[in-house]
Amino acid sequence: MAEQPQSKDLFTRLAEAGEEAIHKISDFPGAAKLTETVNTLRTRVDELQKRVRGLDELEQRLAELERRVDKLAAANSAPHRRTTRAAASKPKPTKPKEPTEPPSESG
């Protein structure tokens, strides 16, 4: 366990170096503009991530709808069978034909 103080020292030194670097960067002339730009970028990336998550949900819904349409299309392409039959119609009563008289030749 003799290494633990050395590793703490290493982490402490890294943290201090990082803090010093941040303080030095803030002293640069364009640091405020850089910080503002980085914060704006972070905000935009967060918004983009939210939108992409929404796209994943939409893609899932679209895939489900496509499966349903394919299922319906397959059902419609199958041969149709009539499930009901037309009611048997009664034959129309026919009138007996009256004999036609030949034209008379009285004349």
Reported as a single tens digit per residue, the pLDDT across 37-69 is 988 999 999 999 988 888 888 999 999 999 999
pTM over cut 0.75: no
Q: What is the dihedral of CA 42, 47, 48, 50, to 10 degrees?
A: 130
| Residues 30-34: contacts with CB under 8 Å, at least 24 apart | none
Would you mind telling me the total number of residues written for the chain in this entry? Answer: 107
CA atoms of 13 and 20, how far apart (whole Å): 10
